Structure 1
Amino acid sequence: MNSVIIAVLIMLLLSLFRVNVVLALITGAVIGGLTGGLNLTETIEVFSGGLGGSAEVALSYALLGGFAVAISSTGLPNVLVDWVLGKVAVNGEGRGKTLSKAFMIFAILLMACMSQNVIPIHIAFIPILIPPLLKIMNELQIDRRLIAAVLTFGLTAPYMLIPAGFGQIFHEILAENMNNSGLAVNMNDIPIAMLIPVGGMAVGLAIAFISYRKNRSYSDISVVDQEKISYRKNDILFGLAAIAAALIVQIVTDSMIIGAVSGLIVLYISGAVKWKEADQLLTDGMKMMAFIGFVMLAAFGFAEVMKATGDVESLVQLAADAVAGNKAMAALLMLVVGLLVTMGIGSSFSTIPIITTIFVPLALELGFSPMATIALVGTAAALGDAGSPASDSTLGPTSGLNADGQHNHIWDTCVPTFLHYNIPLIAFGWIAAMIL
């Protein structure tokens, strides 16, 4: 069996059995490397060499966690909580509570969607916004699996469809690699081709509202020590200024590291964060985001091992050889291969260059139209971004929703998002390939 399939299946099975995701990725990488023809020493060397590729990402998330906790210490998130509590009726059933839930969920969905295109900060808003809102979610008895589904939709669907922010990057990578593979692509055609697959994600989101409509109780565990929170007006203003500085600098420099440091500098210089407490706050924040950092490190190592075996290309070629001129079967196998590759690598952006070299010539040979080919490749790349234990589209939601230790990354984020998005994406991506 192909080593990529073996490695991904082992990683997913171990994760489902609640083995730590980092250990699952390392184990999958080692077994995949050995199965793919590498010896143990070569596998370890390749895995270790791949860790450097995610060092910047890991440091970014660590600093982001420190910045989030520092912002919390100013009292700004609690002011937000108090404001939202004043807007929603948390005591009572019926229409009032339903409207309160709708208000909360719509606000989170809007922010998640904006984070990809309007204000391209990706998951940076989650550790700042979500932990303080857990108190309200508990009051409203909102199932956090629904919030995970809402966040993952907002982190994935907009970049697939809208050519702005991260969407612009995704569309450019897609067009460039398809052009290099022999199919000239007009950037204006990509949103049209991706409309049906994204419609599948919208259907999945609608189903998630049904799946997780029932109340779910959580313990009311305080995320931030209320006694240490300052509600001074100046601290609130400096907290807002720090967030603005972090966002502006990140957008200008395209660096989460520089953005987070800029926000921290504003908090330190202004006195909103006391110097004697700064080190502890930063350490606590880094601990909060350390999980994401280590998972991203392991995911990059996993990806490097899979590439070194050469079986990623073999898997793509195997799918191409298996279709025997059958367009319907070819479309389905392309999507499944995209799912397997992205589930292991954790990034749709990194999957595109791997699959286009085979998928584009195959699609042209089988008579797929340019629009259908765009839909196939774009959907195949995006598949797995939702549901992968190593994707920041799932790690981000978990970092916020598990701030009080009551949200499991695999069973409360990855499994729900996999079921509600990857299955509809395969179905609607296949439909798009058949009718476009």
Structure 2
Amino acid sequence: MEWIVIVSVLVMTILCLLRVNVIIAIIAASIVAGLMAGLSLVDSIEMMVSGMGAASNTALSYILLGAFAVAISYTGITTILVNFLIRKLTGKKTILVLALAGVACLSQNAVPVHIAFIPILIPPLLKLFDEMRLDRRAVASALTFGLKAPYIMIPAGFGLLFQGIIEEGMIQNGTFITENEVSLAMLIPGSGMIVGLFIAIFITYRKDRDAIPGAGGAESSITIATVENVPFNKQHLFTLIAILGALAVQLVTKNLIAGALTGLILMFLFLVIPFKKGDKVMTEGIGMMGTIAFVMLVASGYGSILNKTGAVEALVELSSGYLNNNQVLIAFILLLVGLLITMGIGSSFGTIPIIAALYVPICIAAGFSPMATAALIGTAGALGDAGSPASDSTLGPTAGLNADGKHHHIWDTCVPTFLHYNIPLFIFGWAAALIL
């Protein structure tokens, strides 16, 4: 029975590494787990579907945030930001890279639009990068930092989702923890990413580097538009009000759906987005974030199968017997497993329901505190997001930086982000599990 978890996770990981669609890989792993537990094919599928409801709140949040991102980009307010960066930071490489990291951070909480800003913001800056001989690997590292570190450490926007999934997963699997405790537990692992960012910007990629034409293969489908002077107007003011309204509601209610709905409603009420564009905004939002939403739904169903078949309990007994409750070794192995799973799936959010189902019983048996368990689950879920070829945290930066065909996805985005973020995140997360 204990081999069910191991075999099904291996099936999922191998399929993902072979570039099989993530949703198909998780469904296949769920069916394998069910069949190994003696269920029929139909029963395995029905059990998986019945367990998908737990992630419905998060999935709907993603879709609404995607629509909000599309609405914001429709107003052209990002063009003003591009012009500001070009005007103020030309020739100031380090400050420009740090500024891009800051903008990316805002995309996770204050203006939760995730990767939607990159195809709009980065391509117009590529010519400036080349003139400054700026190493695009530094920019990729900065963007990935901004897409990842805030949701790990800050309980707002996507961080509210990420930490909420950890809290929910722990409670569902037998360990009570509060939202504040999860936030505090994730500060130590997240600090490792700050160290990685500084190493990337100030040491590894500080020197001049010329972008190589054709390095990224075929050019991206993104069109590099000419940046025009766009004056700040009434539409942009209303857009900012909508963003602030969404943030305020999100912080007060601690509900991302309520925040996203507030932002969308305000943009329609202020006529920033014409009512006739409503269907288009929602359709594009679903197209942008729908895949991630469904990954999370299916992952929740997979975690349900692992629990209901008794495979997790069997794995706990096996692990406890072999490792003799050695917390140092157990924490190391759990983080390593998390790295492998997330590298395959490419979604931190999608792996948390799976990881929580696996880790909580093991951590209870080994005597880890709730905060240490949260640090392990959060770190294991975040590990592999940076560096994974299938992750939004790497695909997003490459989509912008390779608009002119001069940026290689693996060597210029995945490898740099893997080295600078997964290694310190692993070390700091391991330390957090032993300290807390």
**Structure 1 residue 54, shift from structure 2 partner:** 2.8
Map of 2:133 onto structure 1: none
1:431 Cα deviation from its structure 2 partner: 5.2
1:246 counterpart residue number:
246
Q: Which residue of 2 aligns with 1:92?
A: none
> In the alignment, what sits opposite 1:235?
235
Code of the aligned partner of 1:133: L
Please, which moves more after superposition, 36-45 or 50-59? 50-59
Report the CA distance between 1:352 and its aligned residue: 5.0
Distance 1:230 1:262, change over 3 A: farther
Aligned residues of 1:190 and 1:374 also touching (Cα < 8 A): no
What's 2:316 paired with? 316
The corresponding residue for 1:359 is 363
Q: How does 1:220-231 map to 2 (within 5 A)?
A: 222=222
Cα separation, partners in 2 of 1:18 and 1:206, compared to 1, 3 Å:
farther
Q: 1:52 to 1:195 in 2, by over 3 A?
A: closer
Question: Any unmatched runs of 5+ in structure 2?
Answer: 131-135
Task: Measure, in 2, the Cα distance between the counterparts of 1:167 and 1:65.
Answer: 16
Distance in 2 between the 1:26 and 1:175 partners?
23
Q: Displacement of 1:45 after TM fit?
A: 0.6
How far apart are the structure 1 equivalents of 2:289 and 2:264?
Answer: 16
What is the rounded CA distance, in whole Å, between the counterparts of 1:190 and 1:43 in structure 2? 35
Aligned partners of 2:161 and 2:256 also within 8 Å: no
Distance 1:326 1:154 in 2: 29
Structure 1 residue 233, shift from structure 2 partner: 1.0
Q: 2:106 aligns with which of 107, 111, 120?
A: 111
C-alpha distance after superposition, 1:1-50 (max 9, x if no partner): 72222222222222222222222222222223323433211211112223
Render the CA deviation track for 1:208-248: whole Å, top value 9, x for unaligned: 55666666566475569889998671111111122122222
Q: How many residue pairs get matched? A: 407
Partner of 1:367: none
**What is the one-letter code of the residue matched to 2:66?**
G
CA contact under 8 A between 1:75 and 1:235: conserved in structure 2?
Answer: no
Equivalent residue number for residue 93 of structure 1? none
The letter of the residue matching 1:385 is: A
Q: Please tell me the residue identity of whatever aligns with 2:58.
A: V
- Secondary structure (helix, strand or coil) at the match of 1:306 reads helix
With structure 2 as the length reference, what TM-score do the two structures score? 0.72
The residue that corresponds to 1:267 in the other structure is: 267
Determine the C-alpha separation between the residues in 1 that align with 2:194 and 2:57: 33
Q: Which residue of 2 aligns with 1:256?
A: 256
CA distance 1:376–1:274, change in 2 (3 Å): closer
How big is the shift at 1:358? Answer: 3.9
The TM-score, its normalising length taken from structure 1, stands at 0.72
Give the Cα separation in 2 of the matches to 1:211 and 1:33. Answer: 47
1:386 corresponds, among 383, 388, 396, to 383
Report the Cα distance in structure 2 between the residues aligned to 1:408 and 1:291, rounded to whole angstroms.
Answer: 24
Q: Bigger shift: 69-78 or 57-66?
A: 57-66
Task: Give the corresponding residue for 2:25.
Answer: 24
The match for 1:277 is 277
- Residue type of the alignment partner of 2:257: I
Aligned partner of 1:78 in structure 2 is 79
Root-mean-square deviation over aligned CA pairs = 4.7
| 1:299 matched residue in structure 2 | 299
Gap change, CA 1:284 and 1:253, over 3 Å in 2: same
Report sequence identity in percent. Answer: 34
Tell me what 1:99 maps to: 94
Q: Could you list the runs of 5+ residues in structure 1 that have no partner in the other structure?
A: 90-95, 365-369
Which structure 2 residues correspond to residues 33-432 of structure 1 after superposition, within 5 A?
Answer: 33-89=34-90, 96=91, 98-99=93-94, 101-108=96-103, 110-111=105-106, 115=109, 124-127=112-115, 129-139=117-127, 140=129, 142-143=136-137, 145-159=140-154, 191=184, 197-206=189-198, 208-209=200-201, 219=219, 222=222, 233-324=233-324, 328-336=328-336, 346-348=350-352, 351=355, 355-363=359-367, 374-375=371-372, 378-387=375-384, 394-395=391-392, 398=395, 402=399, 420-430=420-430
User: Could you tell me which amino acid in structure 1 is paired with residue 150 of structure 2?
Assistant: L
Distance 2:376 2:52 in 1: 27
Structure 1 contact 221–404 (Cα < 8 Å) conserved: no
* Cα distance change on mapping 1:227 and 1:180 into 2, 3 Å: closer
SS of equivalent to 1:273 = coil
1:231-276 CA-partner distances (Å, limit 9, x unpaired)? 6711111111221222222223333333223222222222222333
